[in-house]
Amino acid sequence: MPVCIVVGLWGDYNRYQAFWCGNVRYGGASPTGGVFLAKDDNELTLIPLGGMGEIGKNLYVYEYGEDIIVVDCGLKFPDPEMLGIDLVIPDITYLLERKQRVRGIFLTHGHEDHIGALPYVLRELRVPVYGTQLTIGLVEQKLREAGLGSKIRTYVVEPRTPVRAGAFRVTFFHQTHSIPDAAGLIIDSPAGTVVHTGDFKFDQTPVDGRIPDYSYLAAVGEKGVLALLSDSTNAERAGYTLSERSVGTTIDRVFNEAPGRIIVATFASNIHRIQQVLDASATYHRRVAVVGRSMVNVLNIARELGFVRATDDQFIDLDHIGSLPAERLVILSTGSQGEPTSALTRMANASHRKVEIVPGDTVVISANPIPGNETPVARTIDQLERAGAHVVYAAVTSVHASGHASQEELKLMLNLVRPRYFVPMHGEYRMQQRHAELAIACGISPQDIFILENGDPLRMSAERAHVGARVLNGSVLIDGYGVGDVGNIVLRDRKVLSQDGILVVVLTLSTQTGQVVSGPDIITRGFVYMRESEHLLEETNKLVTETVAHCVREKMTDWSSLKTSVRDAVGSFLFEKTKRRPMILPIIMEI
């Protein structure tokens, strides 16, 4: 029987925050202070399977009765300790166990942390996908590359046009972000209305002229909102986020002053930034060569759908850039995050087949490093400078504007919507906490604010809200073609190999006598250099022989026991001699 601990008094509504029963946290209270545990059939349940306490891997489940909808389906890039891992996506076991009830996936915008997991998820969960025009254009390209183009139904939805999905009615509304056609969602259910902001900022002078839909948000808030889920990425930043148009001033100055080639690296999806580069290129009579597969793909889709304004004669094929004087050329590239295989990094390392950095080049890195990428970005800048380029980056001038709302914009969202409950999302825990403090400053009661973790189901109605028992959630690791076949044990082994190397012991035993017929032979990689450690390896060889002989005398002849004895003996000996713990791999053969 679990012990339940209540934090706050039963009748003390203002102080009540949460309580624990066993390992399960429950939060919220009724207007009279009562605690609710059981799920009510009239409650709306929100379950984040990604995006809480982290930036990336966004996937939010809304459930009412027998109907489920999913908002966003993103990936995140691996942490430094995830050696060899390419991508990380959410664990969707909860959805797969209820796949007959899932009515669709609704996408807020086309960034990888919101759509990148779709090719993996839709292999197992064949449901329709809804989004704005550019978002669906990017998704369809992904699905074609994954061989799913004809198997998944996709729908382009216009802002303010409701979509019925079981018990839900979902309406998109226009937001401004660092990619065009971003949207928030109004999710109506019998339990009430939820505003899901997606990623946003309130840009008063957007590059495309489409301002956020303030009037619609205010009208929804006037009718009454059950809950607001809002982007927390910049909740630590005071004031307002710079308009994307402000970056255009810096770009124009760089183009005006650069004596030779200009190389601009930015996110492939930052179409507003790309448009400003194209506009400056036209103003200063430069032609543009595009480098990087993702950049080429996104630019082609954006031009086809009308989100980028440019004529064909503004561009030049990369193979023909030698025909232009340096002062007439711009190269638009991927690699703003110092990715090892990106075009800009290969240019910096002099390993790109078609572009070589030369003195007189101006390189603009038009993005802030994502947390964790600071070192590779700094290394790339150093290499570019060594090659003679003049590098313009965020630390020295304003060449980037965030796509996420700062504190004053977050307050404006709260005051426009005026929700009953508030859930800060899309951010690390400290960001969610700062966002919660902003909500309290805007008049939302602390007990009506829920800082959730992935897997926490928040059950809501107009009268009450509480957090239920955590559902199965987690991360699925993508390594090459492998999906989920690399787990903690493999990562642990990779970490050991990267830190202390491997030592392989090979020997052959006689099946009749149990005596060593051949070996032991010792092979090391990443542990010691064999020529300089001959004495150590000779002692290790002798120890293996003695250990095997002891096992034979004690009649420990099964391979498992024999390998364990060799591994333990050699491991203890090597740690005593070197203070290192290499992976020890005994290979025993019988003849």
Sign of the alpha-carbon dihedral angle for 475, 477, 482, 485 = negative
CA atoms of 404 and 413, how far apart (whole Å): 12
Whole-angstrom CA distances from 238 to 241, 432, 577 are 9, 15, 55
Asked whether 432 and 230 are in contact (CB, 8 A), the reply is no
Phi-psi region of 26 (alpha: psi -120 to 50; beta: other; left: phi over 0): beta
Task: Give the β-pairing of 59-64 and 67-71.
Answer: antiparallel
CA atoms of 251 and 254, how far apart (whole Å): 5
Structure token pair of residue 73: 């389906």
Return all residues near 361 (Cβ < 8 A) that are at least 6 apart.
Answer: 260, 261, 262, 263, 326, 387, 388, 389, 390
Asked whether 272 and 178 are in contact (CB, 8 A), the reply is yes
CA atoms of 175 and 201, how far apart (whole Å): 7
Minimal CA–CA distance to 35: which of 8, 1, 56?
Answer: 8
Distance of CA 418 to the CA centre of its chain: 29
Asked whether 376 and 346 are in contact (CB, 8 A), the reply is no
Residue of 231, 279, 448, 479 marked active site: 231
Is residue 272 annotated as part of the catalytic site, yes or no?
A: no
**Measured between alpha carbons, how far apart are the two ends of the chain, in Å?**
57
Distance of CA 513 to the CA centre of its chain: 58
* Angle of CA points 301, 307, 308, to nearest 5°: 85
Is residue 91 annotated as part of the catalytic site, yes or no?
A: no
Return all residues near 130 (Cβ < 8 A) that are at least 6 apart.
Answer: 104, 105, 106, 107, 154, 155, 157, 163, 170
Residue of 111, 114, 390, 404 marked active site: 404
CA atoms of 109 and 24, how far apart (whole Å): 33
Distance of CA 299 to the CA centre of its chain: 22
CA atoms of 81 and 77, how far apart (whole Å): 12
Amino acid at position 341, single letter: T
CA atoms of 186 and 162, how far apart (whole Å): 9
CA atoms of 270 and 115, how far apart (whole Å): 15
3-class secondary structure per residue, 135-204: HHHHHHHHHHHCCCCCCCCEEECCCCCEEEECCEEEEEEECECCCCCCEEEEEEECCEEEEECCCCECCC
CA atoms of 104 and 68, how far apart (whole Å): 8
CA atoms of 167 and 42, how far apart (whole Å): 11
Catalytic residues, which ones?
231, 404
